[in-house]
Each structure stands twice: as structure tokens, then as C-alpha cells.
Amino acid sequence: SIENINDIQKMANERVKVIKAIKIIESDELAFNKLKALEKNVLLALVLLECSKVDGKISKEEINHLKNTFNTRLDLSENISSFIFQKDTSEASDQKQFDSLIMKIEKNVTYKEKYELLVYLWEKLLSTEREVDQSLILLIKKLLRKFDMSDIESNEAKKEAEAIVEESKPDEEE
């Protein structure tokens, strides 16, 4: 039917955009301040996915939690979330030695850009809900360790994100 064709075309277009975003993220000229919103969200999804692995594997429970996080907090559709997990699985079974994305960021991205990424992550998490669940907090702590950042820096980034979220809310008194 026409609706199915339109849905299929929409899904294909989303995947093409994600493929382009991943190519930009994986390029040697990764500059966080030049990334568009979708690219930032895909980058965060890939980083959180990498942080959630234990011995290169991820539990089904964690997959479900991440998919929910990607959908509700990073504004990524089910289609995009599924594609990110498919890409991760296909690369893992490829037997090639890939540098992890986090290692690449650690090598090629300035401290200021990593901090901006952390602020952006907190902004995305806080824009949907004020409280962040414990499993996401644990992922953020893993990310901090991998980026060689402290809880103090994370708290500062969170405060900046709270201010940004507060500013972006429409005035309720008007």
C-alpha cells in the first residue's frame, strides 16, 4: 500500500541520515561544535552503548534500557535505535580491530569539547525529566572515567545543562 511505501521510504531516509552522521563521527576531523543535533544524539547513543558493555557484551535488559533512553531522551526513533544496535553487532562480529569511539574521542577531541559533550548529554537527559535513573547515572560515571573527568566536572556540566533547560522553557506566567 501507499502508506507502507511512504513508511519504508521514511525509514530508509532516516537510516541514510544516520549513516552520514556515523561517517562524520568516525572521521578524523571530528569537531563536536560543528555537529548537528542528530549527529550529536547519534554520537551520544554510540558512546552510551560502548559504556554499557561489559567484556564486549551487553545484556538484553541493558539493550532495552538503552533503546528507551535513545527514544525518549535523545529523540532517536525506534528505527534509528535499532539501526545503531545492528551496526554495533555487525562490527563486533566482523573480527576487525576497531579503535573504540571513546578512545578516538579521547585522542582527538579537546577537553573543552568533551566537557561540551557532557553538558549536552545532561541537557538531553534533563530536558525530558528532572530525575535521571540510577542506571543512566552509572553509565555517566563510566563515561567520566573513560574521558578522565571527575564527578565535580559532571556536576558543573549538569548545572550548566539545568540552566540551559530552564532558559529554553516557555514562560509559564504569561
Confidence of residue 91 (pLDDT cuts 50, 70, 90): low
Model pLDDT, residue 99: 53
Please give the Cα distance from 87 to 107 (Å, whole number). 23
Model pLDDT, residue 174: 45
Confidence of residue 96 (pLDDT cuts 50, 70, 90): very low
Query: Is the model's pLDDT at 22 over the cut of 50?
Result: yes
Rounded mean pLDDT of 78-83? Answer: 90
Helix (H, G, I), strand (E, B) or coil at 94: coil
Instruction: Print burial letters for 100-125: b (CB count within 10 Å at least 16), e (below 16).
Output: ebbebbeeebeeebbbbbbbbbbbbb
Please give the Cα distance from 26 to 93 (Å, whole number). 19
Percent of the chain with pLDDT over 90: 34
Model pLDDT, residue 97: 39
Confidence of residue 56 (pLDDT cuts 50, 70, 90): confident
Rounded mean pLDDT of 97-104? Answer: 68
Percent of the chain with pLDDT over 70: 89
The C-alpha cell that represents 13 in the structure block: 531516509
pTM of the model: 0.84
Using alpha carbons, list the distances in angstroms from residue 167 to 38, 75, 126, 157: 21, 20, 13, 15
Query: Is the model's pLDDT at 21 over the cut of 80?
Result: yes
